[in-house]
Structure 1
Amino acid sequence: MTPLGGTELQHNFLNNYVDNDLLSNFSICTSVPEKIPLYQNKTNILWQKNAPNQPNIAPWFKDKSNHTKYDWYVFNSSWNYEKYRDLYDLPTDRCHVIKNGVTNFPERQVYKKGDTLRMIFHPTPWRGLNVLLATMQLLEGENIELDVYSSCQIYGEDFEKDNDEQYQDLYDQAKTLPNVNYLGYRPNEFILSKLPYYHMFPYPSIWEETSCISLLESMAAGLYCMVTNYGALYETGAEFPVYVNYETNLVNLAHQFAEGIKICRDTLHEPMIQEHLDEQQKYIKRFYSWDKKGLEWTNFLQGILDAKQ
């Protein structure tokens, strides 16, 4: 199976929303430097989505002689750019930020007081599934249900084979909890089709996200989102999610999420919150749609060509 994680999906959108003749002037490598060849007759761009401390990336950036190999570095968030700039002293005149985008803007489901609160978790398991399952144990009997679509399969069969076993205990736990349904991997288009049937996206992230497509997708679908203020999540979500302060004591974090989810359930029906979610969808569509991202990429790439003339 061809992996279709967030990076691959965003690259597909780039090809769909930017003129192919324009793109043909550039070689765009995603995240891991030199995983595709550098071209002498094209402008080489490293589209950086991964965090700067990852072991397949850090050594390359620590060697400053590598920094001249790419004509431009494009980052998926200002947070990520700041990290690379600070850690590796990148040439700032060749750095640029273009954030991720989404394309799915369905009509959202309106929560009514007394309804079962339906929640979804669709990031990979190492991003906080352990905390969320502990949270769900604290929420038994609260008329709250969680569907879990989480697996290493999203990155392909080889990655799943090498990594999924270490998360099997989490999957087994999810299958045994009465208020959790473990559904496993589903393709992105399936997730997008199901998002409007949920009310909330709880994400106790313990992974330093450089952006978060799962959050963008959930916000675009009108879900009430609760996330940690870790990594670039607070930049991605702006003022719309409920933020829980990240802490390394994961037991405390689970308790904080459990209390927060109950408060969200008890207030989600109120007109002020419903208006908030309406504005959230408008915000994501205005600033994160691929119609806008395609224009940003087009202007950026065309500007590079114009400057060479």
Structure 2
Amino acid sequence: MKIAFLDLSTWDYKIESAYQIPLGGSQSALCYLAENLAEQGHEIFLLNGTKTAGRSRGVSCLPLDDNDDIRQLFRSLDAAIVLNQAGWGKKLKPLLGYATKLFLWTQQVPSLKAMQALGDRAELDAYDRLIFVSNWQRDRFLDSFAIDREKTVVLRNAIAPAFANLFPEQTDILAAKTNPPILAYTSTPFRGLDLLLSIFPKIREAIPGTRLQVFSSKKVYQMATELDESVYGILYQKCRQMEGVEYIGSIPQPQLAEKLRSIAMLAYANTFEETSCIAVVEAMASGCFVVTSELAALPETTAGFGHLVSVEGVEGFSSVRDWQFSQRPDWQNYADRFLEKTVQVLRNWQSEESASLLKKQVEYIQKQCTWTVRSREWVRYLEKICGINERKNPEVVRAIDREVRGQLQQGNSGEAIARCQRAIAQYPQSAILYKSLGNALQTQGKIDAAIRAYAKAIELDPNFAEARANLGSMYYQKRQLTMAIKFYKQAIELEPNLTGVYWNLSKVLEENGQLEEAKIYRDRAVERSVE
């Protein structure tokens, strides 16, 4: 597919910026998603406030100017995806090609000024689909604007690549944590830092030696240091002066991942309505206990692993300009509950029960919340909405696939092979037909020919999990166990619900002498069979 991401802010960044400088969550998510889509072979563009055009980690980065080249690009796209700012749909739609679909991908709450244009019916109708990052967020937009639910989807955020595999399987997570424990605050300053600092001395009193590291500033929004200090300097200075607190500020994601690996807890006394919260997901990937608010999308994001504190009784939530909540009676009651929960978790943080929870938490994030996983979800969705699936595999192709399966069930493999070959001559870009051909060839024992057919199917559709699983089985028949393991694992990564592949993989691993890993996949197969 040919896809352009449009960030209509004035921010100057490229894909590599997410690895090099502190960058806001929405922009970081865009960078990692765009990079992963490019790695899958799609033609990806980022149009934003960059001052210089160029390639960045496989993505073409261009200044968002009104010129003939940009207009020609717009007309050639499969999908144009606007980040976070409504109000441009009516202007952009006439510039796009007839078949180009326009998407609004927002990580904001509906009350923000940047979203108010959705109250204009014509603006709302200009978007073919709206993409949200949590069910909570989508429901708020449905309540606020006249949006057709069928035109919406939830595609969640994920962890930065730096947070992937910080703890490989069988790693002792607690052994990596500093003792006495270190707590971290990693969000922007207006989302609860004021409240956390007000109770930290009591946390330290209850758990002697506890320290707090604060990774926070508005630098992630490309705000000048002078302006940042003029608004939030009082908080930063309080950090610098408080015993046991180290103010570090915002740092690039690779450095943050390295720091969080040894930190015991994300202490996020959140006073802000989060639509997702990448900071929480990345702390979970880092093996940190998460204590935060039972507020907005955070229950979804923590997925049952967080220690959530009720916000019952509070009156209003923080914003960029309204964040000094530590003296408010309604939030002071919350602060007392947050203190109690934090101390409770810290008193038990090195127990076997806690170690087991962290292990499951990290496994969940690594399986479900990487940009490799998310990008494939995006591909499936975009292909569906843009009609790519129909172009690659029209109904006639799917009918032929069903016909071939019927022939194989009747033992007519020769007819099945001939039918596939005739169909491929007519539809040479169909991965499904090459998969069907591979199935027919293997029934005749033509393993090498089947391998070539499955490999071609994967070349045409890199996300074709069934073809990768079948290729793994062919290599198993040839007793090339390492290759079989490779393709079985790839199939599971693409489609985690392929129960039979877990059984096959456990068998091959056992035959290859990898007994511990074989048991892991056998247990997962049993879990999925029960489900």
Using structure 1 for the length normalisation, give the TM-score.
0.92
Give the equivalent residue in structure 2 for 1:124. 188
In terms of fraction of residues, the more helix-rich structure is 2
Verify: 1:203 aligned to 2:256, yes or no: no
Q: Which amino acid aligns with 1:155?
A: Y
For the 8 Å contact 2:176–2:262, the answer to whether it is kept is no
Matches within 5 A, 1:263-282: 263-282=344-363
CA contact (8 A) 1:152 1:164 kept: no
- Contact 2:293 2:310 survives alignment (8 Å): yes
Question: Structure 1 residue 192: deviation in Å?
Answer: 1.6
Who is 2:42 aligned against? 20
Query: Could you tell me which residue of structure 2 aligns to residue 255 of structure 1?
Result: 336
SS at match of 2:275: coil
Q: Could you tell me whether the CA contact under 8 Å between 2:178 and 2:263 is conserved in 1?
A: no
1:283 to 340, 360, 364: 364
Give the conservation status (yes or no) of the 8 Å contact 2:177–2:264: no
1:35-85 deviation digits (Å, cap 9, x = unpaired)? 696242121110011011112222x12222311111110101111111101
Q: How far apart are the structure 1 equivalents of 2:260 and 2:140?
A: 32
Say whether the 8 Å CA contact 1:112–1:269 is kept in structure 2: no
State how 1:101-250 maps to structure 2 within 5 Å: 101-102=158-159, 103=161, 104-105=163-164, 106-107=166-167, 109-110=173-174, 115-141=179-205, 142-158=208-224, 160-247=225-312, 248=314, 249-250=330-331
Evaluate the alpha carbon distance shift between residue 267 and residue 68 of structure 1 in structure 2; reply closer, same or farther with a 3 A threshold: same
Instruction: Give secondary structure in 2 for the equivalent of 1:119.
Output: strand
Q: Check conservation: 1:174, 1:181, Cα contact below 8 A.
A: yes
Q: Does 1:4 align with 2:23?
A: yes
**Number of residue-to-residue matches in the alignment:** 307
Relative to structure 1, is the Cα distance of residues 252 and 201 closer, same or farther in structure 2, using a 3 angstrom cutoff? same
CA contact (8 A) 1:101 1:213 kept: yes
CA distance in 1, matches of 2:334, 2:27: 31
Question: Does 2:127 match 1:70?
Answer: yes
- Is residue 294–residue 311 contact of structure 2 (8 Å, CA) maintained in 1? yes
Kindly name which structure, 1 or 2, has the bigger radius of gyration based on alpha carbons: 2
Identity over aligned pairs, percent: 24
C-alpha RMSD of the superposition: 2.2
Ranges in structure 2 where 5+ consecutive residues have no aligned partner: 1-11, 14-21, 46-76, 315-329, 392-531
Q: CA deviation at 1:232?
A: 0.4
Q: C-alpha distance in 1, partners of 2:331/2:139?
A: 27
**Unmatched tracts of structure 1, length 5 or more:** none
Q: Specify the code of the residue in structure 2 equivalent to 1:118.
A: I
- SS of the equivalent of 1:218 reads helix
Q: Which 4+ stretches in 1 moved above 6 angstroms?
A: none
CA contact (8 A) 1:31 1:46 kept: yes
| Range with bigger deviation, 272-281 or 11-20 | 11-20
Contact between 2:177 and 2:261, CA under 8 Å: does it hold in 1? no
Q: 1:22 to 1:16 in 2, by over 3 A?
A: closer
Q: Could you tell me whether the CA contact under 8 Å between 1:47 and 1:75 is conserved in 2?
A: yes
User: Which whole-Å CA distance do the structure 2 matches of 1:91 and 1:241 have between them?
Assistant: 32
Contact kept, 8 Å, 2:185 with 2:213, in 1: the verdict is yes
Q: Give me the whole-angstrom Cα distance separating, in 1, the residues matched to 2:175 and 2:210.
A: 12
The residue identity in structure 1 corresponding to 2:199 is: T
Instruction: Tell me the equivalent position of 2:69.
Output: none
How far does the alpha carbon of each residue in 1:115-163 deviate from its partner, in whole angstroms, 9 at most, with x for none? 31111111000110011101212223332110001101111134x5444
Deviation sequence 1:193-236 (CA, Å, 0-9, x none): 21101010011111100001000000011111001011100110
Q: Distance in 2 between matches of 1:200 and 1:177?
A: 19
Residues 125, 35 of structure 1: alpha-carbon distance in 2 compared, 3 angstrom cutoff:
farther
Q: Which amino acid aligns with 1:117?
A: P
CA contact (8 A) 1:109 1:198 kept: no
Structure 1 Cα separation of the partners of residues 199 and 175 of structure 2:
21
Check 1:43–1:129 CA distance in 2 against 1; reply closer, same or farther (3 A cut): same
Which one scores higher on RCO, CA 8 angstroms, separation ≥ 6? Answer: 1
- Partner of 2:347, secondary structure, is helix
Give the direction of change, closer, same or farther, for the CA distance of 1:114–1:47 in structure 2 (3 Å limit): closer
How far apart, CA to CA, are the structure 2 residues paired with 1:192 and 1:157? 23
How far, CA to CA, are the matches of 1:256 and 1:243 in structure 2? 10
Q: Is the 8 A contact 1:216 1:237 kept in 2?
A: yes
1:50 matched to 2:108? The reply is: yes
Question: SS of the residue aligned with 1:68?
Answer: helix
Distance 1:124 1:207, change over 3 A: same
CA distance in 1, matches of 2:182, 2:384: 46
Per the alignment, do residues 163 and 91 of structure 1 end up closer, same or farther by CA in structure 2, a change over 3 Å counting? Answer: farther
Cα shift at 1:188 = 2.1
Shift of 1:288: 1.1
Q: Which residue of 2 aligns with 1:84?
A: 141
Q: How far, CA to CA, are the matches of 1:113 and 1:80 in structure 2?
A: 34
Q: Which amino acid aligns with 2:109?
A: A
- CA–CA distance in 2 between the matches of 1:267 and 1:90? 46
Secondary structure of the corresponding residue to residue 29 of structure 1? strand
